[in-house]
Amino acid sequence: MRALVVEDDRVIAASVATALRSAGFLAEVVSDGETAWRRGGDEDFDVVVLDLGLPRLDGLSVLRRWRTEGRRFPVIVLSARGSWTEKVEGIEAGADDYMAKPFEPGELVARVRGLIRRAAGHTGATLRFGPLSLDTHRQTATLSGLPLRLSPLEYRLLDVLAHQPGRAVPAGEISERLHGADVADDNAIEALVARLRRKVGAGIIETRRGFGYLLRSGDN
Q: Are residues 110 and 158 in the same domain?
A: no
Whether residue 50 is found in the same domain as residue 90 = yes
Q: What is the pLDDT of residue 175?
A: 87
CATH number of residue 61's parent domain:
3.40.50.2300
Q: Are residues 90 and 180 in the same domain?
A: no
Q: Are residues 89 and 171 in the same domain?
A: no
15 and 103 fall within a common domain: yes
pLDDT of residue 208: 92
What pLDDT, on the 0 to 100 scale, is given for residue 193? 93
Task: Give the start-end residues of each E strand in the chain.
Answer: 2-6, 26-30, 47-51, 75-79, 97-100, 126-129, 132-135, 140-143, 146-147, 205-208, 212-215
- Distances from the Cα of 131 to the Cα of 142, 165, 174, 219, angstroms: 8, 15, 23, 11
Q: Identify which of 102, 88, 141 has the alpha carbon closest to the alpha carbon of residue 15.
A: 102
220 lies in some domain:
no
Task: End-to-end CA distance of the chain: give it in Å, rounded.
Answer: 25
Domain with 180 in it = 126-215
CA 145 – CA 132 distance, rounded (Å): 8
95 and 131 inside one domain: no
pLDDT of 173 reads: 85
- SS3 for 122-183 is CCCCEEEECCEEEECCCCEEEECCEECCCCHHHHHHHHHHHCCCCCCECHHHHHHHHHCCCC
Per-residue model confidence as pLDDT tens for the chain (220 residues): 899 999 999 999 999 999 999 988 999 999 999 999 999 999 889 999 999 989 999 999 999 999 999 999 999 998 876 666 777 788 888 999 999 888 999 999 999 998 988 887 776 778 889 899 999 888 899 999 999 999 988 998 999 999 888 889 999 888 888 887 655 577 888 999 999 999 998 889 999 988 999 998 755 4
Neighbours of 126 (CB within 10 A): 13
Residue 9's pLDDT is 95
Note whether 105 and 86 are same-domain residues: yes
Query: Same domain for 24 and 99?
Result: yes
* CA–CA distances in Å: residue 23 to residues 46, 86, 113, 127, 135: 14, 29, 9, 17, 12
**pTM over cut 0.85:** no
Query: Do 152 and 83 share a structural domain?
Result: no
Torsion angles phi and psi, residue 77, rounded to 5: -90, 135
Return the number of other C-beta atoms located less than 10 Å from residue 56's C-beta: 14
- Same domain (yes/no): 65, 134: no
113 domain-assigned: yes
Output the pLDDT for position 122: 73
What's the CA gap between 115 and 158, in Å, rounded?
18
With contact defined as beta carbons under 8 Å apart, do 35 and 5 qualify? no
> Both 137 and 62 in a single domain?
no
Question: Which of 74, 97, 119 is the last residue in one of the domains?
Answer: 119
Residues 138 and 98 in one domain: no
Give pLDDT, residue 136.
Answer: 84
Please state the domain count of the chain: 2
